[in-house]
Amino acid sequence: MGNAQDFDDSAALLEQVNQALENATPLRIQGGNSKVFLGRIVAGEILDTRSHRGIVSYDPTELVVSVRCGTPLNELLEVLDAAQQMLPCEPPAFAEGATVGGMLASGLSGPRRPWSGSVRDFVLGTQVITGHGKHLRFGGEVMKNVAGYDLSRLMAGSYGSLGVITEVSLKVLPKPRQCLSISLEMNSERALLRLAEWGQQPLPISAACHDGERLHLRLEGGEGSVAAAHDRLGGELLDAAYWADLNEHRLAFFDEIQPLWRLSVPNNTPLLNLPGVQLLDWAGAQRWLKSDADAAVIRKLVGEVGGHAISYSHGLVDSPFQPLPPALLHYHQSLKRQLDPRGIFNPGRLYAEL
C-alpha cells in the first residue's frame, strides 16, 4: 500500500511524550506547520509528527482509509483520487506540507461542508498518545463500531490540546459522476434569499459562495440532475478551480491587507452590517471578513445573531478563537485535565486557560 517513506514511528513519539511528562516539559505538536497562524502562540519543545507516516490500510470497496498522522495530506488525496474517491469535507491545506494529523487537529472543512458534513463527521476511529503516557485506540474502522467514537471525534478541532494523534480511520465517498460550476450576477442580499429558497428544494448544490458581485454555485450528482439544475438556474460557466482557490485562500479577496476573520452564523442569517468587506461561503453560514475594526466590535455584532468570530491573522488578538462562556470553559478545562493532567500538550493554543 505504501512507499519507501512509510514508517511507524509511534514508539519514538511515545518516548518523547513520556520524557516530557517526566520533566514537566510542554510540547508544541506540529506536522507541516501549515496552520500555525491559527490560535495562540505555543511555547514548548517541538514534537514533529512527520516521521510517522503512511497509509496503513485502504480498501476502496469498504470506503474506509486508515492513515498515520504525519502523512502529507496531498499524498492521501492523490491515493483517494486514483480510486475515484474523496474526503467529502474538502479539508484545506494552506501549505504544501500540510499533514493528515493537522487536518484532523484543526477540523477545518471546505466549500462542500454544509451539504456533506465536517471532518469530524467522517472520523471512525483514532490512535492517540494521551497525557498519561499511553498509546490508545479509540473507535473503530466501521461506523457500527461506536466504542469510544465520540472521543475520536473530540480530536477534530482540538488543535493538539488533548493528545498526540498518531493515526486516524476515515470514511470516504465516491466522487460525484458529474460536476458543473456556474456564476450568476446578483447582489449579496438577493443571493442569500435565493440560497434560502433553494435550500428547501432538491437541487444538487454542493458549494455556494458570493463575492460581493456574483453568486458562484457548484452542482454535483448524476448527469441528468446536474443538467436539469443548470437549465433551471442558468448562469455563466465557472472554472472548477475556483473552489480550490476559495478553499486555499488564493482568491484576490484574501490578498487585501486588512486582518482576516472567519465568521460562523446560523443558516439564513441576513447580510450583516459589519465594517470591512465580506465574502460569503457555505451558502452564507460561513463568512470571511477583511476588516480593521476592533475584535470586540466584530464579535458583538456577530454574537447578536448567534454567531461567533475567529481571527485568522496571527497575533492580532490574545484570544483568536471565540472566547467561551464560563460554563463551557469549565467543561473544556475538565476534559483537558482528564486527557492531559500535566498540561503538556500545546498549552494555551486554544485558550490561555487551557
Question: Domains in the chain, start-ordered, CATH in brackets?
Answer: 10-174 (3.30.465.10), 178-311 (no CATH)
Which range, of 93-107, 131-145, 294-308, averages the lowest pLDDT? 131-145
Is residue 106 within 8 A of residue 159, CB to CB? The reply is yes
Average pLDDT in the chain: 95
0.75 exceeded by the pTM? yes
In this predicted structure, the answer to whether residue 347 has a pLDDT above a threshold of 80 is yes
DSSP count for the chain of H helices, then E strands: 10, 17
Per-residue DSSP letter, 323: P
What's the order of all strands across the beta sheet hosting 123-129? Answer: 55-59, 64-68, 164-171, 123-129, 135-139
What are the C-alpha distances in Å from 127 to residues 29, 33, 48, 134, 145? 15, 21, 16, 10, 15
- Please give the grid coordinates belonging to residue 215: 453568486
In this predicted structure, what is the pLDDT of residue 146?
Answer: 40
Count other C-beta atoms under 10 Å from residue 308's C-beta.
15
Q: Which residues contact 247 (CB under 8 A, 6 or more apart)?
A: 90, 92, 110, 111
In this predicted structure, what is the pLDDT of residue 151?
Answer: 86
Radius of gyration of the CA atoms of the chain, in A: 21
Nearest CA among 254, 274, 248, 258 for reference residue 316 = 258
Phi-psi domain of 169 (left: phi exceeds 0; alpha: psi -120 through 50; beta: other): beta
Name the band, by pLDDT with cuts 50, 70 and 90, for residue 147.
very low
In this predicted structure, what is the pLDDT of residue 139?
Answer: 81
In this predicted structure, the answer to whether residue 238 has a pLDDT above a threshold of 70 is yes
In this predicted structure, the answer to whether residue 4 has a pLDDT above a threshold of 80 is no
Nearest CA among 28, 36, 57, 15 for reference residue 170 = 57
- Please give the grid coordinates belonging to residue 315: 497575533
Q: Which residues contact 39 (CB under 8 A, 6 or more apart)?
A: 159, 320, 321, 349, 350
In this predicted structure, the answer to whether residue 201 has a pLDDT above a threshold of 90 is yes
Give the pLDDT mean for 76-95.
98
In this predicted structure, what is the pLDDT of residue 2?
Answer: 56
In this predicted structure, the answer to whether residue 141 has a pLDDT above a threshold of 60 is no
CA distance 209 to 221: 19
In this predicted structure, what is the pLDDT of residue 148?
Answer: 42
In this predicted structure, what is the pLDDT of residue 331?
Answer: 94
Nearest CA among 51, 57, 78, 5 for reference residue 164 = 51
CA distance 255 to 229: 33
For the stretch 240-257, pLDDT in tens is 999 999 999 999 999 999
In this predicted structure, what is the pLDDT of residue 150?
Answer: 72
In this predicted structure, the answer to whether residue 285 has a pLDDT above a threshold of 90 is yes
In this predicted structure, what is the pLDDT of residue 5?
Answer: 84
In this predicted structure, what is the pLDDT of residue 140?
Answer: 66
Is residue 311 within 8 A of residue 298, CB to CB? The reply is no
65 residue type, one letter: V
Give the pLDDT mean for 305-332.
96
